[in-house]
Amino acid sequence: MNKAEKRFIEKIRTKVTKAVTDYKLIETGDTVVVGVSGGKDSMALLDILANRRKSCQINYRIVAVHIQLTDVPYHTDAVYLQSFCAEREIPFHLLQDDTKIIVDGKQPCFYCAWNRRKLLFEFAVQNGYQKIALGHHKDDLVETLLMNMLQHAELSAFPVKISMFNDTFQIIRPLIYTTNKELQRYIDIIGYQPLPYDCQYAESNRRESIKKIIKSFYKIHPNATDNIFKSIQNIDKKHLP
C-alpha cells in the first residue's frame, strides 16, 4: 500500500468515525451485528469497524451475519466470507432459510430484502445484540429518496439511526458519509474481491433504473448526489407548499 492509498484509507475511516460520533452510533460496551452480503459495502463496513475497534478508546463487540435464502438462485461463497472475518477476529454466522420469496408476477427483490431483514432482526433479538449495522451509504440514501418521491409521492429515505421494537435494538448506518465510488476504491486497496453478483432479478430491480437517472444528474451538476444529500438537512419551509 503506497502513501496515497494509505491517505485514502485513513480518509474513509475518518468519515465513518465522524458519522459514528455525529449520530452516536456506537458507544462503549455495545454489541454490534454487521449484516454482510459479500458485496463491497458491507465488507468495507466490516473492515472499517474492525480497524476502528483496535484504534479507538471505545470498547465494543462485533459479529458478522450472512443470510442465504434457498429460494434465491444467487448465493455467495460463505467460506470466503468466513475467512475474511477470521482475519479480523470477527465471529461469523451463516443463517439459511427456505421461505418462498419468488412469487409469479411480483417483484421478488422486496420479498428477498424483507426476509433477510427479518432473519437478521431475529438473530439480534435472540442473542441480545444491541445494534445492527447495515452498509448503506450516501448514494443509497439519495436513490431511496428519489424512489419514494417518484413511486410513493413521499419525501422519505432512511434514518442513520433508528430504534426498533420498543428499543429492543437499533439499526445504524455508519457509511452514510461515504459514496459508492469511495467504497469501491477502499475495497480495491485492501484487496477484497467482491463475490460475483449474478442474481437473475437484478436488472429488473427498480433501484437500477433510479441509478441510471442519477447518473444523468451529473451532466447538470458535478456534485449532484452531495447536494441532494445536503438538501434534506437544509429544508426551507418558507418556500414549500
The span from the CA of 147 to the CA of 150, in Å, is 5
Q: What is the pLDDT of residue 198?
A: 60
Helix axes 3-23, 40-55, angle to 10 degrees: 80
Q: Which residue has the higher pLDDT, 96 or 140?
A: 140
Q: What is the pLDDT of residue 64?
A: 96
The rounded mean pLDDT for the chain is 88
169-172/131-133 β-pairing? parallel
Q: What is the pLDDT of residue 240?
A: 86
For 216-239, the pLDDT digits (tens) are 999 999 999 999 999 988 999 999
Q: What is the pLDDT of residue 58?
A: 80
Cβ-Cβ contacts under 8 Å for 192 (sequence gap 6 or more): 40, 43, 44, 47, 84
For 56-105, the pLDDT digits (tens) are 778 899 999 998 877 766 667 888 999 999 999 999 999 888 877 666 65
For 184-201, the pLDDT digits (tens) are 999 999 998 876 666 666
Q: Which CATH class is domain 3-234?
A: alpha beta
For 10-26, the pLDDT digits (tens) are 999 999 999 999 999 99
Against a cut of 0.85, is the pTM above it?
A: yes
For 160-180, the pLDDT digits (tens) are 999 998 889 999 999 999 999
Cβ-Cβ contacts under 8 Å for 69 (sequence gap 6 or more): 96, 97, 98, 99, 101, 112, 115, 116
- Are the C-beta atoms of residues 197 and 112 closer than 8 Å to each other? no
H, E, C per residue of the chain = CCHHHHHHHHHHHHHHHHHHHHHCCCCCCCEEEEECCCCHHHHHHHHHHHHHHHHCCCCCEEEEEEEEECCCCCCCCHHHHHHHHHHCCCCEEEEEECCCCCCCCCCHHHHHHHHHHHHHHHHHHHHCCCEEECCCCHHHHHHHHHHHHHHHCCCCCCCCEEEECCCCEEEECCCCCCCHHHHHHHHHHHCCCCCCCCCCCHHHCHHHHHHHHHHHHCCCCCCHHHHHHHHCCCCCHHHCC
